[in-house]
Structure 1
Amino acid sequence: MTTPHPPTPPAASPDVPASTGATPTPDAASGRSGYLYRAVALHLAGHPDDILKVGEITRAIGAPSSGAVFEALKKMAAAGHATHLTGPHRFQITQAGIDAAGTMPPPAPRAARHGPRGTGRRQPVTRPNGELYFPRKLAGATDVDVLRRLRDKRIPVLLYGPPGTGKTALIEAAYTDLLTVAGTGDTVVEDFLGNFIPLPDGGFEFVHGPLVTAMRQGRALLVDDATLIPPKVLAVLYPAMDGRRVITIPGYRNEREAVDGFYVIAGHNPGVHGAILTEALASRFDVHIEVTTDWDLARHLGVSRPAVETAVALNGDLAAGRISWAPQLRELLGFTRVSKTLGPAAAVANLAGRAPAEDRDHVLAALRQRFNGDITPLTLGKQR
């Protein structure tokens, strides 16, 4: 399975108005984010009387994702270069934006970028689906910054940790141009390279897979649950990741070389049945980063104290090998949503029911220590 995204912007957008006479500034030409900002700004400048939706702008300029375009538009609005209307999100160029001719605004003050001095908390990053990601500390910076720096230097990263700790969310926050291969035991080479599909006239057309597309367009490729994929299938990645950066597409009789920007990152869930981290795979990733649940973030996002304390205790038992499952951030956020919808008692019962059968008694005991009343997994009762 793959997660499709719109294509990377072309070298020159047909929507950039020739009448502006603007040329790329060093900032705009120095990276993908600067180029995208300029393309968005000049498209708005070419339609000064229009109030445009994010999706309309994304399609018009051929941007990598609506999330990336939305970030550029918010920067424009914060600089006074555009007016931001909501319900849905719409934008219109201002006179200041027209005068700026597509150039990026100056960097925001430190407080805007890092929060008030002394808080140590960076501002959240908007993921392509519109949800917020709260960066965490890593190697003297934040996890989002570190992943972006590693991509700039072509240093592959393997993120590992239990399911639900936020590995995919982090990667989506770091890379707005992301393509994804969701690994399973049934993943085949064609899921990476592509395959021939039948046409209505009886012919066939070769459709490139996410690996080839990422190489052609200079995009990031996430191999999620990489250690569930058979090693012989994963071997298709290795020529693209090493110094050659070239792959051969056997059925298409074609060779493809990666362009600048292409990058591979992978996720691994240790302890999941069937997940095997081979030496061949591990050695391809120079940086291995463990991702665990941020309990402070769980509290910040509204998870109740008893639920967090239960999860912390169960994760201690998981680390000691006494159980094989413990709730992570994903389950805690689900607990909070169910609690708001059905009430706390139903949320606790549902959390108990999410535990595997072999660990359920242990999980129930931990829940009963911190929540009042008899707790049983959420179960249908008699007819009313």
Structure 2
Amino acid sequence: GDHLLTIACYDGMTFQDLVGQYLPVPGEAGVFRYVDGALVTAMLTGRPLLLDDFGWMPSGVQATLLPVLDHRRTLTVLDRPDEQVITAAEGFCVIINLNPGIGFGVTSPIRDRSAFELHVPVDLKAASKLDIPAGFIEVAQHLHTLADGEAANGIRRWVPSMRSLIKARDLTMVFDEHFAACAMLGECPDGEQRMKLQSLLTTELGLGIDVPEPLQARSL
């Protein structure tokens, strides 16, 4: 709802992106004002905070959250001109979302402080309702089944996300299925996984000898 605060995580983010910093006042040369970050605002007002694409938050910045997420529910911000020790109000909570295997991941101390994890697989039934070509859905089904089996052995396999499937649909509409298959191959890690995807795409899309290759820029 409208009460939810959000921080978009990225690989270069800093402590200040979470807690706040001095920013120039528009129209007043040389004048700066301290502005609380979304984390401090959420703690003070008792609102939920969503850390979007958390896997891209550097581990050093993730450490900022440790006293916030455990029994202390506090945060110390020395640069803040007002109260420097922030205590979370009732209703404050942190929600993390991420794509597994992308970015820096989640540190063990953060996982230890998480109440629960919810794994959301790609909904292939929804994909079929979005007019995604059947061949790409079959490829995704094969890879998801394979990934589920290997996950029990601690092996993480790349699988196409819903975003990847939607891109395949759009590229098929503009170009053709072969071009869309080449684009999907470029998303998959090189090696055995890419070879497996290449074989599935060739078979399920009925490409025959027109085997897709990863899209690649070539200098002249």
TM-score, length-scaled by structure 2? 0.78
CA distance in 1, matches of 2:58, 2:156: 27
Match of 1:40 in 2: none
CA distance in 1, matches of 2:45, 2:94: 13
TM-score, length-scaled by structure 1? 0.47
Q: CA deviation at 1:245?
A: 3.7
CA contact (8 A) 2:75 2:86 kept: yes
CA contact (8 A) 1:192 1:210 kept: yes
Match of 2:32 among 190, 204, 209: 204
Match of 1:221 among 49, 55, 62: 49
Q: Which runs of 5+ in 1 are unaligned?
A: 1-174
Query: Percent identity at matched positions?
Result: 28
Q: CA RMSD in A?
A: 2.8
Q: CA deviation at 1:307?
A: 0.9
CA contact (8 A) 1:227 1:276 kept: yes
CA contact (8 A) 1:227 1:277 kept: no
CA contact (8 A) 2:50 2:94 kept: yes
Whether 2:212 is the aligned partner of 1:376: answer yes
Whether 2:79 is the aligned partner of 1:251: answer yes
**Matched letter for residue 138 of structure 2:** E
Match of 1:286 in 2: 115
CA distance in 2, matches of 1:344, 1:227: 31
CA distance in 2, matches of 1:215, 1:368: 52
Q: CA deviation at 1:332?
A: 0.8
Match of 1:361 among 191, 195, 201: 195
Greater C-alpha Rg: 1
Q: Which runs of 5+ in 2 are unaligned?
A: none
Secondary structure in 2 matching 1:289: coil
**Matched letter for residue 195 of structure 1:** Q
- Compared CA separation, residues 355 and 232, structure 1 to 2 (3 A): closer
1:96-146 alpha-carbon deviations (Å, 9 max, x no partner): xxxxxxxxxxxxxxxxxxxxxxxxxxxxxxxxxxxxxxxxxxxxxxxxxxx
CA contact (8 A) 1:299 1:308 kept: yes
1:1-384 aligned within 5 A: 175-199=1-25, 200-253=28-81, 254=83, 255-272=85-102, 274-278=104-108, 280-319=109-148, 320=150, 324-358=157-191, 359-373=193-207, 374-377=210-213, 378=215
Q: CA deviation at 1:273?
A: 5.5
1:220-239 alpha-carbon deviations (Å, 9 max, x no partner): 21123435434442233233
CA contact (8 A) 1:317 1:323 kept: no
Secondary structure in 2 matching 1:288: coil
Secondary structure in 2 matching 1:180: strand
CA contact (8 A) 2:55 2:102 kept: no
CA distance in 1, matches of 2:107, 2:72: 24
> RCO greater where, 1 or 2, for CA within 8 Å and sep 6 or more?
2
